Structures are given as C-alpha cells and as structure tokens.
Chains A and B, each alone.
Chain A
C-alpha cells in the first residue's frame, strides 16, 4: 500500500514542493553554485584545450605538411635528395627566414616561406579568397591576416620584400608547415620560390632555415628515415608523423596543459565545496527523513528520493554551467584569436559533455556518504535528537572515495603523474601557507586580546577553530597569491625586463650586410648621425680543442653546452669591442699566428685556459687558433656579441657578412625606411616589434589563465563564505550568551570582525610572501631579473584578504538574542 502511495509521480511532486524550500537554504544554493562552477571550469578548459591542440595539429601530416621533414641551417645536400628520389618519395624544398616587409611607410618583422610546387605534400593551404593554385604564382604572395592587419594592408595591396615588390592575392586562413620556434609565431608570408633570388635577401652568410619535405608510403618513409637518421649533424632535425608528435613539446601543447593544470585547484575547491554543502544538507535533512520514515517511507525510497533531488540539482547546474562555459569560450576565442592562425576549429560534440560529466562524477562520489547517512536516519531520531548525527566514514570507505576522486581527476588531466604531482603541489602549498599562518595567528591575537574586553574569548575561539582556520587560511593565501602572481607577471615582468635595459640599448639590428655594402651602409648611418660599429660575421663550428675532438676533450656535461651543437657566429677585429672588457689575458697587437678571444662563461664551462688551442671548421676548412684572452659579454646589451673573436688576418678570406646594431628613437623610423630603400637586401630586425610579439603571446596566455583563475576565485570565495557562515551560525548562540552575560551586540560583532579580519589579514600576508617567491622565481629563471620586493602587494593583499573576510562576516552576520538560547 505504501508502495503505491509513493509512486514516482508522487515522489516527483514531493520533489517539486520541496525544491522551493531547498533553494532558500544556503547549503543547497552553494551546492548548485559549486556544481555550476565545476561544470563550467571543466567544460571550458577541456573544449579550449582540445581546440588549441587541434588548432595547431589538426592532423599531424597537416602540421608538418608532409610525412617527414628535415630542417637544416644549410641548403640540403644533393645525396639526400637523390636517396629520397631513389625511394620514390615525393619531395619539395622550403626556405624560411625572418625579414622586414614594408607597405607604404609601415615596416613589419615577418616570417617568410618561399615554396616550390608541389606544396604542401600533405594538407593544404586554405585562403580567402580561395585560389586555383596550390601556392602563390611568381610575383604574388599570400599573407596571414595578422600581417595584413598590422601593415594596414589588404588583399590587392602591394608589399616590398627586399628588392622585390609582391602583390598580395590572398589571406591565409590555415596553412601547414609553419615551422617551429619563435619564428613560427611571427606573422607569415608565403611567396613563390622563383621570386626569392629577385628579393636579394638571401646572401652568403644569411640566417636561413631550409626544410626538405618528403612524403610517400609508410614503408619507404621509414626506410628513408632510418637511412638518414645516423647521418644527421646536431643542427639538423628530423620530424616524422610516425615517430613524432610534432607539437608534443610545443608551446601550445604546454599552454593547454598549463591551463588544464591550473584548473585543478579550482576543481578541488569545487569538490571541497560540494562535500561541505552535502554534509550540511544531509545533516539538516535528517529530521525530515526521520519524519518521512515514520510516515512509512522505506529506506530505498528515501535513497531514490534524495538521489533524484541531487540529480535534478545537477541537471540545472549542468545547463547553467555549460552556458557559462560557452560564454567564457567566446571570450577566450577573442583573446587567443591571433595565436592560432585561421582561428580555432569546432570541437567534437563529445567534448561539451566533459563539464557536466565531471560535475556529475564529483557529485556522485562525494554525495555517496551523505546520501547513505540520510537514508539510514533512524525514526527514533524524532524522539531523541542525539540519534540525528552524522557518522564519520570508515577508513576503507574514505580510501575508496579518495582513489575514485583521484581517478576522475587523472582521467580529466589525461595523466596520472600530472594529477598526482599537481595534487601534491597544491596540497603542500595550501598546507604550508595554512600552517604558517595558523601558527602566526595566536601570538598576533594575544597582542590584540590585551586591548579588548572579550580578548580572552578570541584566543579560545582561535584555539577551538584552528582546524578550519588552517584550511581557510591555506585556501585564501593560495588564491590571492595565484591572482597576484598572474597580475604581476602580466603587468610587470616584461616591462621590468625592458626597463632594466640602459637607455641607449640598441633597438635595431641589421644583418646580411655584404662586404661590398659595408662602406656604403657605414656612410649612410654616419650621415644620419647614427652611432654604430660594423662587425664581420662568419659561420663556423668548433671541431677541436688542443688537438682532440670536443667529445674527447670535454666531459659529457661540458658537451651539453649549446655552442658546441650548432654553427657559431665568429668575428674578427683589430680592436677590442668597447663593451667587452677583458677578464684574463691580453688583446693582440699584430700576431703572426691566429689568436682568439673567448667569452668568459663559454671558457669557464668548457674549462678553456689561456694558451689552449681551438680548431674551427669554416666553409669546409679547418683553422686553429690560440686563446690569448677571455672577454666578459653582456648578452642582453643588444649589441653584436660573439663567443669567439679572431685576430685580424685569420678570417678575411672566408665568406662573411657584416652585422651592426644601433638605437633609433620612435621619431627616427624614417632612417630605417631609408636604409631598407637604399639597401633592400639587408635584413633589419626591429627589437621593439620582436618584444611586442613576445609580449602579446605571453599576455594572451595569461589572460586565458585569468579566466580560469576567476572561476577558481569564485569557488574559493564561495567556500570561504560557506565556512564563515557556518562559523557565524555557531557564534550566534555564543554571542547571545555573551549579551546575556553583559556584553553589547556591538562588542560581540567587534569580536567576530576582529577574528575574521585577522584571518583575512594573515592570508593576505601569506599570499604576498608566496607571490614574491613565485614571481621572483619566474623573473630569475626565465628573464634573469634580480629579486625585487613589491611593497605595494604587502599592503594590498592583506587589505584585500581583510576586506573579503570583513564583507563576508558582515554579510553573514545575524542578530543574536535570547531566542537563540531558548531554541538550543
């Protein structure tokens, strides 16, 4: 009979009737908000991460533009091409380099790809308007939209590259084979290889990237790759769709991983919030449950009823959370638009399910215990209140829940190791910040207690609540620190790095100056009163030290030095560069044998001494010279610097180009335009533009992280608010008693405010400390910036912490009265 009375229809009606009451309770509202946040965080990051990864590696072959690519700083050797042809592989050659292009008065540093048909071998270049040819015909070029935007150009405009004028016939929407490294982040231009010579920008000694693209059946590609691999020199790089995930270690993959990891803290907070809300909710529902049971409702029906309730709450949160994540995705797309040329692809529909599924998994795992507690409520609880209590979970049950939670997070992060590491790091930081702050709390409070009538009670409260205080302090400290560090990185690091450069630091580099242009370029710059020095530059490789090969002469650790694995820029000079003071030895006067001066850090790492002999390979020839001095080089001076400078006479007969750098103020842009007009084949690099491009990239990633952190902050504030509310409800009874004993409501409010403001202040102090450490570490490791204190954050963060807690306390504070004492 009972069964028929509590049919599903009736249960649903009861559910509807109770939903309004539920919505009035703080714990149900917080639960819904936590589920919305978890859904949107997980959903937003999964979709965005997937789009970012897909955006660059739509398909592996499309990114490479081939099945196999060989990158080199030199033109490809004929035997490689012959071998590929003998394996019946299709191949094509790409030349890529950085150069300034101009349109009217505008100059822009761009990455130029000169290509031959067929190109690409895999995938295709998508353009607007669509083109009938696979690559731009001679005399024309295709440009990425960012390039056109920054030059104020459009399809149909004419641009100048070196000596050649090119007509832009299409905007590139998407193209494979963008290359790797920072060069790939500059706006790109694709030109026909036939136009390359006419531009005149490729000269002996120019810095050019050559790439050979191969495609064919898998067996042939593998065979060819196995033949080629043992012959590679250190500056050659082979990438294959079969062995490499070309973007696996790329910046975008890292960025997407970073975004996902940074959401973990937010998800953990949501989990904690869900767990707390459910505990409070089930505790509040126990007497109602006892009543329902006394009316004849069965254990399984109670379980079904509350499960239905949780699922209905989840359904609402899943819809709201998904909508919120869509909004955030829209914002993120605007921010990251230029990072992915051609925009972000549409994600597969199943990725939209990750957010709701994630919040459902959290709800079911964390809701398991409270649901069980509710359904096990004894009817006797109606008569004896003490029976209505929550029993803690058994240890095995706790371990199972933690493992389940860990498994869900590992699935979400796609890596068990990352999940564990991140959990450990977040846990440790929160614990450390919490423990330190909680340790500082009592001595601070003791000082305050002396000045306050109810001071001793403050100390009791702090002792009683120390467990919650540790959690609140830890969470709030880490939240504020993360927010502050992001803000500082965004606004300060790059600016500080730029500001620390001396006023006269050169901001224009000119490379590829041919020997026959040296005099004219020098005269041009002198006429414009531009201070400069021209240095010859010859490419060479270290092949011997004191008659031994580097491998024989050096330890494995020394062999890791970057300069041993690539061609170095060498120079020669009669005079010591003014910005390179000697630390050891003497500068040469007119030596009979070749002498060299080496850079200090290079000499120290390799253990080079004065009198040691080094052998270099230049243009296929060996030249040996004696070290007679060691120089100090400030690499960040933006002046031409070299690891090795030869004495005059040693290198004059080798092919060489010249390099110079100088400073132009913003109103002297005419000079660089004039220089390029007169010498179109020079490569001029505007450092300002380079820094701007790097800055934009950093800022875009930071802004995307800010969205994640915003959601995390919302979850954190919600959690702190819930804990505050819980504590203030307990305090309400205590305050009523204090008022009965002779305190005023003002005094008890002051006590509450004092306690929580102290918590806020301390979490701000901990956050300031963590931020200093975090940004200091970033600055030191990435930009070699000295550690600096930020006095402002030591004031602002404690103040923000105090205000958050203060407002939370005032918002949750309710009047106490005699009624509270009667009710208890």
Chain B
C-alpha cells in the first residue's frame, strides 16, 4: 500500500539548513491503522504532507500503490491523491460558502466521479446527516462539521486516509462518537488509516503506534 524508505526533509535556512527528519522508513498495509504521535514541531505534519504527495522529500523514496510518489510530476501526484487519498483535519476544513452536500460533492467532482451528487448524498446519509444536506458549515455544530468531513473523506473510496488530530476541536463525547465512526468505516472499507494525534488513548486504538522524536520514527 504505502512504502516510505529512508526519507528525509531539510529546509534551507538563512545560515544553515534545517533538517526536520532524516532516513525515516515506514510501511502500511491495506486496512492497517497506524498512529503517529510526537511533540509540537516534531515534524508530524511535514511527514504527512510527504506521505500524501503534497511535498517532495529531500531524500529517500515513497511508493503509494506501487507508484513512486517522489519521482512523479505534480499533476500525476494530484491525480493519485484525488483517486486514492483522503484527509480529515482537526479544524474540519469545509468551504464555508458551500452546503454540506456541495462540500462532499466537490471532492467527487475533482476525482471525476460519474455521479457525484448521488454519491455525496449516500455518504451524508451514512454519517447520519440526511436532514442537513443544504446546511452550510456555519449552520452545523462542530461534530456535524466533522461528520461532513468524514463523509467527504470516505465518499471518494480512498485506499489511504490521513487523519490529523481529528478530535482536537471537539468535546470528549462528540470526539468519541467521531472516532468510533472513523474506526468503523476504516474496518468496513478496509481503508488504511494513518492517524496523527497527541492523545495516547486514541493512539492505542490503532494497530500500530509510532513516535516521531528528534527526527526519527520509533515504534511504541
């Protein structure tokens, strides 16, 4: 599914270059769930953007579904993302001017899905938002917004799902509901889940737990 070998990331600095991590390797199988924890500034988001093909590593190689991400051009990487990768964010990241249905539909349109509207409606039903199709994000609660984000993430039927602090902006009870739903869908659709979190309890629900510390990825 996903194979990262000896990847490193260095940013050019004023006086000297800043190395975020060096020689990190990671592999994920289909349907597997992996938690990555680490302190603020450890480079979790940088690692995520490399694994998702949003950025290019300074060294090493990344293979997604047998495609060498590190050597593909921007357009092909974007196409791979549209077809096989989804994201769930801490701050939901819904477009404020679009309704719940439109937000889900947009991802499907970018993917080139033949029936984006039906598929979007199906997935909103799946996350329990049947009566919220036309609501804009401002008219939805935090939990409902994150459900729209989950519907958007699963609607494209991704092989790989990145969840970046998905409960960070929610109260405990709502967060718990969302996580249950996330793991349930992960199981039923055999999606590979890579979860970035501060929360050790949440991390423990994943099959594997890794810690990004001082530029290295260690198993916990």
> Which residues of chain A have a CB within 8 Å of any CB of chain B?
453-454, 456-457, 460-461, 463-464, 734, 737-747, 817-819, 821-822, 824
With both chains docked as a complex, state the minimum distance between the C-beta of B207 and any C-beta of chain A, in angstroms: 25
- B81, A817: Cβ atoms closer than 8 Å: no
Closest 10 CB pairs of A and B: A742-B82, A464-B97, A818-B49, A744-B78, A742-B81, A742-B110, A741-B107, A818-B54, A744-B75, A822-B45
- Complex Cα spacing A746 to B83, Å: 18
The stretch of B14-22, B26-34, B88-96 that contacts the partner chain: B88-96
Jot down 20 A-B pairs with beta carbons below 8 A, ordered by A.
Answer: A453-B109, A453-B110, A454-B110, A456-B106, A460-B97, A461-B97, A464-B97, A739-B54, A740-B52, A741-B110, A742-B78, A742-B79, A742-B81, A742-B110, A743-B78, A743-B82, A745-B74, A746-B75, A818-B55, A822-B45
Please tell me if the beta carbons of A739 and B78 are within 8 angstroms of each other in the complex.
yes
The interface residues of chain A lying within 8 Å CB-to-CB of B106 are 456-457, 741
Contact assessment for B78 and A460 in the assembled complex, using a CB-CB cutoff below 8 Å: no
Q: Provide the residues of chain B in CB contact with A824, threshold 8 Å.
A: 91, 93
Partner of B81, one of A456, A734, A740, A745: A740
Interface of B: prevailing SS: helix
> How far, in whole Å, are A792 and B81 apart by their CA atoms in the complex?
46
Find residues 79-130 in chain B having any chain A CB closer than 8 Å to their own CB: 79, 81-83, 85, 87, 89, 91, 93, 95, 97-98, 102, 106-107, 109-111
Q: Which residues of A contact B48 (CB under 8 A)?
A: 818
Q: Which residues of B contact A (CB under 8 A)?
A: 45, 48-49, 52, 54-55, 74-75, 78-79, 81-83, 85, 87, 89, 91, 93, 95, 97-98, 102, 106-107, 109-111, 164
User: Known contacts being A460-B97, A817-B54, A818-B54, is A742 close to B74, with CB within 8 Å?
Assistant: no
List the B side residues contacting A453 at CB < 8 Å.
109-110
Bound: A818/B83 CA distance, A = 18
Q: Which residues of B contact A817 (CB under 8 A)?
A: 49, 54-55
A460 touches B89 (CB 8 A): no
How far apart sit A742 and B49, CA to CA, in the bound complex (Å)?
A: 13
Q: A822 contacts which chain B residues (CB < 8 A)? A: 45, 164
Given the complex, which residues of B lie within 8 Å of A463, measured CB to CB?
A: 97
Instruction: Closest A residue to B78 by CB, please name it.
Output: A744
Across the interface, A743 reaches (CB within 8 A) one of B95, B98, B110, B164, namely: B110
Residues of A within 8 A of B97 (CB): 460-461, 463-464
A740–B45 CB distance below 8 A: no
Closest to A730 in B: B96
Question: A464, A739, A740, A817 — which one has the most chain B CB atoms within 10 A of its CB?
Answer: A740
Q: Which residue of B lies closest to A818 (CB)?
A: B49
Closest chain B residue, CB of each to CB of A464:
B97
Cβ of B81 and Cβ of A818 under 8 Å apart?
A: no
> In the bound complex, how far is the Cα of B52 from the Cα of A741, in angstroms?
11
Give A305 to B55 CA distance when docked, in angstroms: 43
What residue in chain A is nearest B46 (Cβ atoms)?
A818
Q: Once the chains are docked, how many angstroms separate the CA of A460 from the CA of B109?
A: 14
Query: A453-B110, A741-B110, A822-B45 given as contacts; is B74 within 8 A of A746 (CB)?
Result: yes
Complex contact B45–A742 (CB within 8 A): no
Q: Which chain A residue shows the least CB distance to B94?
A: A737
Residues of chain B within 8 A of A464, CB atoms compared = 97
Q: Which residue of B lies closest to A456 (CB)?
A: B109
Known: A737-B93, A817-B55. 5 other contacts (CB 8 A): A737-B95, A742-B85, A742-B111, A746-B75, A818-B49
The complex places the Cα of A742 from the Cα of B89 at a distance, in Å, of 16
The CA of A744 and the CA of B107, in the complex, are separated in Å by: 13
B99–chain A nearest beta-carbon distance, Å:
10
**Residue numbers in A under 8 Å from B52 (CB-CB):** 740, 818
Q: Which residues of B contact A821 (CB under 8 A)?
A: 89, 91, 93
**How far, in whole Å, are A817 and B48 apart by their CA atoms in the complex?**
12
B74 touches A744 (CB 8 A): yes
List A contacts of B102 (CB < 8 A): 460
CA distance A390 to B119 in the complex (A): 40
**Chain A residues, CB < 8 A from B85:** 742
Residues of A within 8 A of B107 (CB): 741-742
Distance in Å: Cβ of B138 to nearest Cβ of chain A: 12
Closest residue of B by beta carbon distance from A737:
B93
Bound complex: CA of A819 vs CA of B54, how far in Å?
10
In angstroms, Cα B49 to Cα A739, docked, is: 11
**Residues of chain B within 8 A of A746, CB atoms compared:** 74-75
When distances are taken between beta carbons in the complex, the residues of chain B under 8 Å from A734 are 95
Interchain CB contact under 8 A, B75 and A740: no
Complex alpha-carbon distance, A456 and B85, angstroms: 22
Contact B164 A460 (CB under 8 A): no
Q: List, in ascending order, chain A residues with CB within 8 A of B81's CB.
A: 740-742
Would you give the shortest CB distance from A185 to chain B, in whole angstroms? 60
Expressed in whole angstroms, the minimum distance between the Cβ of A35 and any Cβ of chain B is 34
Contacts of A737 in B (CB 8 A): 93, 95
User: How far is B82's CA from A738's CA once the two chains are assembled, in angstroms?
Assistant: 10
From B54, B79, B91, B111, A740 is in contact (CB under 8 Å) with B54
- Hey, which chain B residues are within 8 Å of A742, CB to CB? 78-79, 81-83, 85, 107, 110-111
Chain B residues, Cβ within 8 Å of A457: 106
Chain A residues with CB below 8 A from B54, complex form: 739-740, 817-818
Closest to B86 in A: A741
> How far apart are B163's CB and chain A's nearest CB, in angstroms?
13
Residues of B with C-beta under 8 A to A743: 78, 82, 110
Would you give the shortest CB distance from A104 to chain B, in whole angstroms?
75
**A808 CB to nearest chain B CB (Å):** 22
Q: Which residue of A lies closest to B79 (CB)?
A: A742
CA distance A739 to B93 in the complex (A): 12
| B95 proximity list for chain A (CB < 8 A) | 460, 734, 737
Chain A residue with Cβ nearest B153: A741
Residues of A near B87 (CB, < 8 A) are 740-741
Which chain A positions have C-beta within 8 A of B109? 453, 456
Q: A457-B106, A460-B97, A818-B48 are in contact. Are A741 and B82 (CB under 8 A)?
A: yes
Considering only CB atoms, which chain A residue lies closest to B49 in the complex?
A818
Tell me, rounded to whole Å, the shortest Cβ–Cβ distance linking A737 to chain B: 5
* Among A461, A464, A741, A744: residue with most chain B CB under 10 A: A741
Q: CB-nearest residue of chain A relative to B45?
A: A822
Contacts of B78 in A (CB 8 A): 739, 742-744, 747
In the complex, residue of chain A having the shortest beta-carbon distance to the beta carbon of B87: A740
CA distance A740 to B87 in the complex (A): 8
Enumerate chain B residues within 8 angstroms of A454, measured Cβ to Cβ.
Answer: 110
C-alpha gap A739/B78 in the complex (Å): 7
A460 / chain B contacts, CB cutoff of 8 Å: 95, 97-98, 102
Smallest Cβ-Cβ distance to A819: which chain B residue:
B45
Question: In the complex the two chains form, what is the Cα distance from A739 to B81 in whole Å?
Answer: 9
A469 CB, nearest partner CB in chain B, Å: 14
Complex interface: chain A residues within 8 A of B98 (CB): 460
Nearest to A738 among chain B residues (CB) is B110
Taken together as a complex, chains A and B put the C-alpha atoms of A326 and B77 apart, in Å, by 57
> Which residues does chain B contribute within 8 Å of A745, judged by CB atoms?
74
CB distance from A385 to the nearest CB of B (A): 11
Q: Considering only CB atoms, which chain B residue lies closest to A733 in the complex?
A: B93
Q: What is the distance, in angstroms, from A530's C-beta to the closest C-beta of chain B?
A: 77
- Docked complex Cα distance between A817 and B50 (Å): 11
CA distance A463 to B97 in the complex (A): 9
Q: With both chains docked as a complex, state the minimum distance between the C-beta of A659 and any C-beta of chain B, in angstroms.
A: 75
**Cα separation A461 to B164 with both chains bound (whole Å):** 27
